[in-house]
Every structure is written in C-alpha cells, then in structure tokens.
C-alpha cells in the first residue's frame, strides 16, 4: 500500500490518499482450515467475516475460484442456505462474482469503475475507535480496487467546526464518489455544522454512509445508511453487569454536547435500572466533565454512587484520574465501567472493564454498505449494527485480581 500525504494550505489538516493495492495470490488457500469463532453473531455473518478477511488479506487472488458451496458447508458445519446468504453478501460488496455452472470467483477490478471515497471524521485523532475503523475502510476500499482520502481536523481543535466545513469543501472540489461521515460532537454548534455538511453533499449527489452515530437523537432518523453498534443494548449490557454484581446506586456519566449514541446508551442504562427495579434511575444521569474535580466531588456527595457507568472509555479514564485526586479508590469504593475498549483501557492504573467495539469490521462493513448504496441508490435506508462483547478487567470489581487484590 502506497501512502501519499498532501497538505492543504491554510486548512489545518492533512489528506492521506490510499492507493490501489494488488491482491496477492496464495494458491495453497484451498487447503486452509476455516473455523468459526465463538460469537453471538448469526452463523452466516461469521462465515461472511471469515471469507471477507481471507479475500482482503490477499489469500485469494483476483480471478481465483473460491471453494464450492458444498465444501464451505462442510468446513463451517452449516446449511447450504446459510453459505449462500454469506456469498450473496460478498457479491453485493463487489468482492466476488458467481458464474453459473462454474463456481464463485474473486472479482476482477474494472479500473474504469474505480471510486474515490472520502473520510470525514471530525476529531479523528482524538477518538481512538476511529483509527481502526479507518484502517478497516482503507483496507476494504484498496482490496476492492478503490481509493480513499482521509483528513485530520485535530491540528487546531479549537476551530474544529470550521475545519470540518473546509474538509467537506475539499471533498466536494475533488468530486469524490462517496463520503464516510461521523457527525461532529462535543460542540455547541454541532447540529448546525452537521446539517450544512450533509446538505452540501446531498446537493452534489454524493452518497453518505454514517459511521458510529446518526445526525439526530432517537427516535428521529436521518436518510443515510448507518454502520455502528446497538448503543441502547450496549448501555444496557454494561449497566446490567454492575447490577448483577451487587451495585445498587449507579450513575451514568457523560460529557456535555455528546453524540446521539450517548443518548441511546443512557436509555439502555435506564432500561437496565428499570429491569432491576432500582428506584430513581432517571435522576441518576450526570452530564458534566469527568475532569471537573469539584463537580465530581459534589456529585459523589449528593448521589453516593457505588458504581458509575461511563458513556465511553475516555470519560472513564478521565474519571479515574479525578477519583484518584479525590482519594476515592476504584473498585473498592466505586466500580467503573466504560464502552469502546480502546487500546489504553487495559493499561490504566486500574484496568478498565468495557464493551468491545469491532472497529475494523465496522470499517469493512461500511465500505460494503457504500458500494451497495451506489449500486442501488433507491433501496431503503439501513441501520447495520454489529455485535459487541464485554471485556472484564479490574475496574468493575468482579475480576479475580480485584476480588483478591
């Protein structure tokens, strides 16, 4: 993969263009032994992910024949209909082609139909989940014979709103084929900026796939496909974990002007509190900075929590630092849980229990959604939600090290 860094004068961000890469041929792949990972995902999606991974890694060359349906049925120990469903999705993604009476083959890229996509992610360098999402997008676009432009708006984060508009204008000038957009958050003017961006892209007839979050708070819904996780379920799962292990006075902590994903996680928190018949759930939401020691101290005195559900891992990490300054011990006095599973979560002084987002897979699925949208622009708008899993570490107080430490 060749990377070309292009500076945009005065805009305060850099653009990286990911060039096309050739899929390597590994003829011995036919002897490879596939196995399904333990997962709560449907079996067809597990098969889809395994085969997509093999194609994107170049283990099947362009034009190479995939194993037969019967072979895949045997390898994955499932039905032919399940295998066919996975192959149909790969075909929609543009990775394979099916030839009647011959079999299934990795698709040759028609260089006359190559697309150039843009990544529009305000604060790309500040929100760690987007780095692996971008890697997934880049790898999938390159493997399918397309190119990707992506920029960073964090060099002058105080003017992120303006930089987001400028990056949008840059993509419009380049006449990109589609935009992967994570709407701006943590800004008082985020809604206005986001609407201006999508209006400009729609006016130019540029398809949009939303990453991670919608433009609007639930139950409103935008007109664009969205790839992410079920944030309401995520909020429920992390809250349920603390409740099942004895917490009775939980608080949900989030920063002001957060994205719509946080509203969904709050609703999941309240669902879990209601399910466990804990009184006062709706009143136990604290919107404020995790770095504000005075505000956190006042909140602790007023609500006396025994556990805090954080909107995301960065909030949890900052809260832990604040609690340390206040001489409040985690998890002995207060249990903490986050959402995202960023890389540093396991490296904190008290390793963080969290919900893992499949970020790289989110990026790959977003590319598939974009290609499907380009091929069928009138199909219904979709929410494509990937599964998450709980990662238990010491901060929740249920890990063996926490119980015996």
Q: Is the pLDDT of residue 288 over 70?
A: yes
Q: What is the pLDDT of residue 144?
A: 76
pTM: 0.75
Q: Is the pLDDT of residue 309 over 90?
A: yes
- Range 211-226 average pLDDT: 92
- The third-level CATH classification (topology) of the domain covering 27-106 is Arc Repressor Mutant, subunit A (1.10.10)
Q: What is the pLDDT of residue 118?
A: 95
Gap between the Cα atoms of 37 and 82, Å rounded: 16
Q: Return the CATH class of domain 231-357+390-404.
A: alpha beta
- Range 41-48 average pLDDT: 83
pLDDT > 90 fraction of the chain, expressed in percent and rounded: 61
**Cα–chain-centroid distance for residue 76?**
27
pLDDT band at 33 (very low <50, low <70, confident <90, very high): very low
- Domain spans in the chain, listed from the N-terminal domain onward: 27-106, 231-357+390-404
For 16, 103, 162, 186, 216, the CA distances from 134, given in Å and listed in that order, are 11, 32, 22, 20, 23
Q: How many CB atoms lie within 10 A of CB 82?
A: 18
- Range 370-388 average pLDDT: 93
**Is residue 175 helix, strand or coil?**
coil
**Could you tell me the two tokens for 219?**
């139950």
Gap between the Cα atoms of 278 and 287, Å rounded: 20
């Amino acid at each position: 993969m060749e990377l070309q860094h292009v500076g945009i004068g005065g805009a305060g961000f850099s653009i990286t263009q990911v060039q096309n890469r050739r899929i390597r041929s590994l003829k011995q792949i036919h002897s490879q032994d596939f196995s399904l990972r333990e997962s709560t995902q449907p079996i067809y999606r597990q098969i889809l992910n395994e085969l997509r991974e093999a194609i994107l890694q170049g283990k099947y060359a362009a034009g190479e024949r995939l194993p037969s349906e019967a072979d895949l049925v045997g390898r994955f120990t499932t039905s032919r209909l399940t295998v066919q469903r996975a192959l149909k999705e790969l075909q929609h993604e543009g990775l394979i082609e099916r030839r009647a009476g011959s079999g299934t083959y990795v698709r040759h890229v028609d260089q006359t139909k190559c697309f150039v996509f843009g990544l529009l992610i305000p604060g790309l360098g500040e929100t760690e989940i987007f780095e692996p999402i971008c890697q997934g997008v880049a790898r999938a676009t390159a493997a399918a014979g397309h190119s990707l432009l992506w920029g960073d708006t964090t060099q002058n984060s105080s003017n992120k709103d303006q930089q987001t508009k400028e990056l949008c204008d840059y993509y419009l000038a380049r006449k990109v084929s589609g935009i992967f957009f994570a709407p701006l958050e943590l800004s008082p003017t985020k809604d206005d900026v986001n609407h201006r961006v999508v209006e400009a892209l729609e006016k130019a007839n540029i398809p949009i796939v939303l990453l991670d979050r919608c433009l609007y708070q639930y139950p409103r819904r935008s007109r664009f496909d969205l790839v992410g996780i079920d944030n309401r379920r995520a909020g429920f799962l992390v809250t349920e974990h603390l409740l099942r292990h004895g917490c009775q006075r939980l608080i949900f902590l989030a920063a002001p002007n957060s994205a719509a994903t946080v509203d969904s996680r709050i609703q999941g928190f309240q669902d879990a509190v209601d399910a466990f018949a804990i009184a006062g759930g709706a009143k136990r939401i604290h919107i404020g900075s995790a770095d504000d020691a005075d505000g956190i101290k006042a909140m602790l005195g007023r609500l006396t929590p025994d556990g805090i559900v954080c909107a995301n891992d960065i909030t949890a990490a900052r809260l832990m630092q604040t609690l340390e300054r206040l001489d409040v011990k985690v998890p002995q006095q207060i249990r903490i849980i986050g959402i995202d599973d960023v890389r540093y979560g396991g490296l904190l002084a008290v390793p963080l229990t969290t919900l893992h987002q499949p970020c790289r897979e989110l990026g790959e699925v977003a590319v598939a959604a974009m290609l499907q949208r380009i091929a069928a622009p009138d199909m219904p708008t979709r929410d494509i939600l990937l599964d998450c899993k709980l990662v238990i570490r010491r901060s929740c107080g249920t890990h063996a090290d926490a119980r015996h430490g």
